[in-house]
Amino acid sequence: MIDSHAHLDSERYAEDRLAMLQRARAAGVHTVLSIGIGDGPDTMHRAADLADEYAGSADVPKIYASAGIHPHEAKLATHQALAQLESLTQRKSVIAVGEIGLDYFYDNSPRDEQKLAFRQQMEIAAAAGLPIIIHCRPSAGSTNAWDDTLEMLGQEWRPTGLRGILHCFTGTAEHARRAIGLGFLLGFTGNVTFPKSQELREVAAALPADSFLIETDAPFLAPVPNRGKRNEPAWVAAVAVLTSISGDSSSRRKSALASIRRARSSICETTSSRRCASSAWAATSIPRPISSRAYASATSIFVIASRTP
Ligand SMILES: [Zn+2]
Ligand SMILES: [Zn+2]
């Protein structure tokens, strides 16, 4: 499996980063994309540093990195910070620019500054020939940031012919359709396992199997049954299992259930969660069948790792 989005440089792994990476490898995660937003533009390089540090270690996943200025820190996207990003795109381990985009939920930076930083970073990514990873969160009860993001991507990214990921996708089926039309993949994270996410699961259910990725967004958004805890890439399987059941053929269903059992035992090995001890967990945490070939595709596609469009 691939964890297509994790913040491996987080301070929250300071005490046990190597062990955390070893648990991921042992759980079947062979590759992780480490998101390079740091604590702000000054530390965007940390994800790439980690990729270099662990290159060649056999018992941890292969680590790729991104670099970018998160919309929260758009107001810090100075000329110097953008130049720093430009030089990071030349590093061998850096395969994408991100996460970049718009966050109207927190509005930590003014919206016009968010749009400017988003636009400037799209230009840097295009010049480097790299895909982009989008962070998008609308105001509560609104789809405003999705609407603006997709409009900007249509106008400013589509002409490059390059692709990207909408990470932690929470938009509507219509947003998903537009994003796929723009050549984007949708990243699903632990929130797809939350009981209230039925609408999102239905959006995922209707997607073509080769149009999405699984991710943890670790250390955030831990999936059920570890919701609320520090997340880690070893738990990406809990996102995968939600995409693995097909209701349309008994053999697929059988193999999906086998992969759920495998995923479940690997999650249980990496956690002391009491709920894991309960054999009811696999059944209760999968509220609805999603798509058929999704598990296979989620474990094999890493389109974004390519420097070519
Ligand atoms: Zn994000
Ligand atoms: Zn993230």
**C-alpha 272 – ligand 1 centre gap (Å):** 27
Distance 248 CA to ligand 1 centre (A): 34
- Indicate the DSSP class of residue 304: G
Which ligand lies nearest to the CA atom of residue 168 in the structure? 1
Task: Give the Å distance between the CA of 111 and the centre of ligand 2.
Answer: 19
pLDDT at 242: 52
Q: How far is the CA of 217 from the centre of ligand 2 (A)?
A: 5
Ligand nearest to the CA of 72: 1
pLDDT value for 254: 52
What residues have CB less than 8 Å from 204, skipping those under 6 apart? 186, 188, 192, 212, 242, 243, 290, 291
Ligand nearest to the CA of 103: 1
Give me the residues of the chain with pLDDT under 50, please.
243-250, 252-253, 256-257, 259-260, 263-264, 266-309
From the CA of 134, the nearest ligand is 1
What does the pLDDT read at residue 15?
A: 97
Distance from residue 143's CA to the centre of ligand 1 (Å): 16
CA distance 36 to 66: 5
Please give the structure tokens belonging to residue 55: 């290159």
Domains belonging to the chain, first-starting first, are: 2-305 (3.20.20.140)
What's the pLDDT at 304? 33
Give the pLDDT of residue 8. Answer: 98
Q: What is the 3-state secondary structure (H, E, C) of 141-191?
A: CCCHHHHHHHHHHHHHHHHHCCCEEECCCCCCHHHHHHHHHCCEEEEECHH
Q: Which ligand is nearest to the CA of 35?
A: 2
The ligand that comes nearest to the alpha carbon of residue 66 is 2
pLDDT digits 0-9 by tens, 112-158: 999 999 999 999 999 998 899 999 999 999 999 999 999 999 999 99
Query: How high is the pLDDT of residue 275?
Result: 38
